[in-house]
């Protein structure tokens, strides 16, 4: 599913955020990745979300080497990846329903399928009354719920979640963990970044730890 070989990532010359990272995620696996702030968790997830290219090393995803994949071929791979980022990335000019529907529109689903799936997800995340609301009126936790709904609405092959429960209370955090588990059991590979050691302790999944940009 996903292989990284000796990956390094730097935004400025000589300042590596990730250093010689090698890892493999099997199809259908579920991993936590943790580490202190600034150790490279968000950078690693952004790299796997195909938002950046690695400075060094080799990446294989979905059975193909994407290290030097032409930019115009990236969208077809991105459509197979669901992403929950800390800054939500909701489009302010769209309603919550329209934000959640975006991946389905890109995938070419019919209007009826989109309407049904969006309604189901908004009810599940506890936001049915915000169907036609704009992101600006939502709290941070509500925006996080909308971002999670958007990330999972297509049942992606790979789900990357960066502190997805960080703005949620403990009860809602567990609810979303069970959603991620259900996705995983249906075949989605999950990589979830969190600094919440208590949350990690509640689930029996492998833990990857980053320290100073290296997996330890």
Tokens representing 14 are 């000589």
pLDDT score, position 28: 94
124-166 pLDDT, tens per residue?
888 999 999 999 999 888 998 899 899 989 889 999 999 888 8
Q: Domain residues of the chain, as ranges?
A: 1-80+156-216, 90-155
Give the pLDDT band of residue 115 (cuts 50, 70, 90): very high
pLDDT score, position 107:
86
Residue 96, token pair as written in the block: 């919550």
CA distances from 51 to 46, 55, 96, 146 (A): 6, 13, 23, 21
**What is residue 158's predicted lDDT score, i.e. its pLDDT?**
95
Residue 4's Cβ-count burial label (10 Å; 0-12, 13-18, 19+) is buried
The pLDDT score that the predictor gives to residue 59 is 94
- H/E segment holding residue 4: strand 2-12
What is the CATH number assigned to the segment(s) 1-80+156-216? Answer: 3.40.50.300
């Amino acid at each position: 599913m996903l292989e990284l070989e000796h990956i390094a990532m730097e935004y400025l010359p000589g300042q590596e955020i990730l250093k010689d990272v090698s890892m493999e995620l099997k199809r259908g696996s579920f991993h936590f990745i943790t580490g202190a702030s600034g150790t490279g968790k968000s950078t690693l997830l952004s790299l796997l979300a195909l938002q950046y290219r690695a400075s060094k090393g080799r990446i294989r995803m979905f059975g193909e080497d994407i290290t030097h994949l032409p930019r115009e071929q990236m969208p077809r791979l991105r459509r197979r990846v669901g992403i929950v980022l800390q800054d939500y990335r909701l489009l302010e000019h769209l309603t919550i329903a329209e934000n959640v529907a975006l991946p389905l529109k890109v995938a070419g689903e019919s209007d009826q399928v989109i309407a049904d799936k969006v309604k189901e997800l908004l009810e599940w995340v506890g936001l049915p009354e915000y169907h036609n609301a704009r992101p600006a009126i939502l709290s941070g936790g509500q925006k996080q719920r909308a971002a999670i709904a958007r990330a999972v609405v297509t049942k992606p092959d790979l789900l990357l979640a960066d502190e997805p429960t960080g703005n949620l209370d403990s009860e809602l955090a567990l609810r979303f963990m069970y959603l991620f588990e259900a996705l995983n059991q249906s075949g989605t590979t999950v990589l979830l970044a969190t600094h919440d050691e208590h949350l990690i302790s509640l689930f029996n999944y492998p833990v990857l730890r980053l320290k100073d940009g290296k997996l330890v």
